[in-house]
Amino acid sequence: MASARTPSYEPPSPNGSLVLLRHGQTQWSLDGRHTGRTDLPLLPQGEEDARALAPRLAGHRFGLVLVSPLQRAQRTAELAGLVPDAVDPDLLEWDYGGYEGRTTHDIREELGYMWTVFSDGVVPGADSPGETVEEVAARASRVLRRIGPVLQDQDVALVGHGHALRVLTAVFLREAPRFGANLLLDAGSVCVLRYEREQPCIHEWNVPATRGDVSTPAAG
């Protein structure tokens, strides 16, 4: 005789999608330079890519739109047709400290080993001590807590920066922050995260504004 099963309670899975937009191309992102808090404008190509994001967002009805304070993110949101509800400093890019404006190649030449920001971190700069990956993850966690109630039944858009959004995605997926090193994110691209039976998942990743073979550096 089969034993009766006691019904178990399953909390409702959030129905909303989390849409991430990395800002369009700047001169430093084109050059592969780490662009943390330096407030650079978009290049003409970056503005073109930001405009091209609009059709990709047309199917979403956003209950909340948050944007980084930096002009490259705010201009991307504007050109993509988004109206931010708030500017969120927790969406700022990783503070690279003394590695601000430098390329990975130059840093490796100086250090003499295969440095990465995810595995080795940054050195203090003249104006800032920089951030650890755990500190970036703490900011990401605050963003995710903030948007959690909205995601229950509405979509949310976050407009920000490459490394910070990669760390945020790792936190969303309940992975260690350094898992973000495995997630390439090009300038002017869009990603969609959502839940499947309470499990956080990647629905779309690194979708370019316009299809093509050109890949941009991941820093900044």
* Average confidence (pLDDT) over 49-77: 96
Least confident of 56-60, 68-72, 180-184, 200-204: 56-60
135: annotated active-site residue: no
Instruction: Please state, in angstroms and rounded to a whole number, the distance separating the CA atoms of residues 38 and 24.
Output: 15
| Among candidate residues 177, 212, 209, the one with its CA nearest the CA of residue 191 | 209
Give the domain 18-208 fold: Rossmann fold (3.40.50)
Secondary-structure percent of the chain, ordered helix, strand, coil, rounded to 5: 35, 20, 45
Whether residue 145 is predicted with pLDDT greater than 80 in this model: the reply is yes
- The pLDDT value given to residue 181: 98
Q: What are phi and psi of 11, to 5 degrees?
A: -65, 150
Whether residue 211 is predicted with pLDDT greater than 50 in this model: the reply is no
Q: Which residues of 140-156 are buried (b: 16+ CB within 10 A; e: fewer)?
A: bbebbeebeebbeebbb
Whether residue 44 is predicted with pLDDT greater than 70 in this model: the reply is yes
- The pLDDT value given to residue 13: 80
Q: Give residue-wise pLDDT tens across range 94-135.
A: 999 999 999 999 999 999 999 999 999 999 998 899 999 999
Instruction: Please state, in angstroms and rounded to a whole number, the distance separating the CA atoms of residues 81 and 51.
Output: 8
- The pLDDT value given to residue 215: 38
Instruction: Please state, in angstroms and rounded to a whole number, the distance separating the CA atoms of residues 85 and 172.
Output: 21
Whether residue 38 is predicted with pLDDT greater than 60 in this model: the reply is yes
Q: Which of 23, 34, 161, 163 is catalytic?
A: 23
3-state class (DSSP) for residue 134: helix
| Among candidate residues 158, 159, 161, the one with its CA nearest the CA of residue 187 | 161
60: annotated active-site residue: no
- The pLDDT value given to residue 124: 97
Instruction: Please state, in angstroms and rounded to a whole number, the distance separating the CA atoms of residues 86 and 68.
Output: 9
Contact 187, 24 (CB under 8 A): yes
| Among candidate residues 217, 5, 188, 183, the one with its CA nearest the CA of residue 79 | 188
Q: Give residue-wise pLDDT tens across range 7-22.
A: 555 556 899 999 999 9
Neighbours of 101 (CB within 10 A): 16
Domain boundaries, the chain: 18-208
Q: Which of 93, 100, 131, 163 is catalytic?
A: 93
Instruction: Please state, in angstroms and rounded to a whole number, the distance separating the CA atoms of residues 106 and 164.
Output: 22
